[in-house]
Homo-oligomer: A and B are copies of this chain.
Amino acid sequence: MPHTTAFARNQWYIAAYGTEVGRELLARTVLGEPIAFYRTEDTGEVVALADRCVHRRFPLSHSRLDGDRVVCGYHGFTYDTTGTCVYVPGQKRIPRTARVSSYHVAELDSFVWVWIGDPALADRTTIPRAPHLADSTHWTTVGGMEPIDAGYGLLVDNLMDLSHETYLHGGYIGTPEVADTPMTTEVDEGAGIVRVSRHMDDAECPPFYANSTGIKGRITRWQDIEYHAPCLYLLHSRIAPQGVLPNPDGTDPDAFHVEITYAITPSTPDQVYDFWAVSRDFGHDDEEMSAFLRDFNHEVVMQDVNALNLLQKTLESEPAGYQELSINIDTGGLAARRILSRLAAEGDRSATPDNVAR
Contact = CB atoms under 8 A, between A and B. Distances in A.
Interface string A168-191: 100000000001111100000000
Contact of A311 (B57, B97, B307): B57
Given A76-B163, A168-B74, A91 B327 contact: yes
Contact of A163 (B62, B89, B163, B168): B89
B55 A90 contact: no
Contacts of A324: 54-57
A264 interface: no
Contacts of A72: 167
B91 A56 contact: no
A211 interface: no
A318 interface: yes
A329 interface: yes
A69 interface: no
Given A56-B157, A57-B311, A62-B310, A327 B90 contact: yes
Given A325-B55, A327-B90, A327-B95, A75 B182 contact: no
Interface string A114-140: 000000000000000000000000000
Contacts of A326: 55
Interface centre among A52, A97, A325 (most CB of B within 10 A): A325
A255 interface: no
Interface in A37-81: 52, 54-59, 62, 71-76
Interface in A297-326: 307, 310-311, 314-315, 318, 322-326
B73 A325 contact: no
Give the interface residue-count category, chain A.
35 or more
Contacts of A164: 74-76
A55 B180 CA distance: 17
Contact of A98 (B74, B76, B325): B325
A314 B76 contact: no
B89 A311 contact: no
Contacts of A329: 75, 88-91
Nearest to A76: B167
Contacts of A75: 161, 163-164, 167, 179, 329
Contacts of A89: 163, 166, 179-180, 327, 329
Contact of A90 (B181, B311, B323): B181
A8 to B, nearest CB: 19
A167 B73 contact: yes
11 contacts: A34-B314, A55-B324, A56-B157, A57-B324, A73-B168, A75-B161, A90-B183, A90-B329, A95-B325, A97-B325, A98-B325
Given A90-B179, A98-B325, 5 more contacts: A55-B325, A56-B157, A74-B311, A76-B163, A91-B328
